[in-house]
Amino acid sequence: MIVDPHHPDTAIARRALPLLDLTDLGDSCSDQAIATLCGKARASRVAAVCVWPQHIGRCAELLAGTSVRIATVINFPAGGTDIERAVDDAAEALDDGAHEIDLVMPYRTFLAGDAGMPTEMIAAVREITGRAILKVILESGAMPETRQVTEASRLAIAAGADFLKTSTGKSAVSATPDAAEAMLVAIRESGRPVGFKVSGGLRTVADAALYLAIADRIMGPGWVEPTTFRIGASSLHDALTTSLGGHA
């Protein structure tokens, strides 16, 4: 395949690939699937892999000596209310070699009008993670109104989130441009160095381009980099590498 370096898809693919959290959170994820995932991650030099906690150790073996980080999910996908369990799971994941924790905020509790318990959970996990990255998943698709996304974003930032993440990818509605815009505006207005992760339903180069454009418009050119912006996806990797002629 001949790649036109001036084609817009090529430029987007080159920009998006290093931002990828290459993800496998399938119910039947196997050791072979993890080996394949890590092989792609090594070849493409993505930002991170995102896997179930039981696969952290294997990823650590397969990614040793690379810059690819290991992320895992906590309180996932239901967003329950057991703070002690969330803290214990986060501590175990870090001991196993995780660099980043993607925590599902108790979004149903938040939507029911209780902001205290979600704040307490995020703060408790924040304390245990130390210098590791804490991404808080809002499950924005479950929030009927944009103002709720804004309020949840502010809550998570105040409680210590390093990143705001849109979705688990397990809900009926995943990432949307409106939610992304609300979350990024909340980050900008906070004045804090908080990143943004869009996740759920991104499959094409055009999908990546859409969310990169939103971030550029709200946060300004030069803000997007792996320390501030991530794309959580699985099938998107293939679309990006295809745009690059099958090569990272």
Active site residues: 102, 165, 197
Q: Distance between CA 185 and CA 59 in Å, rounded?
A: 34
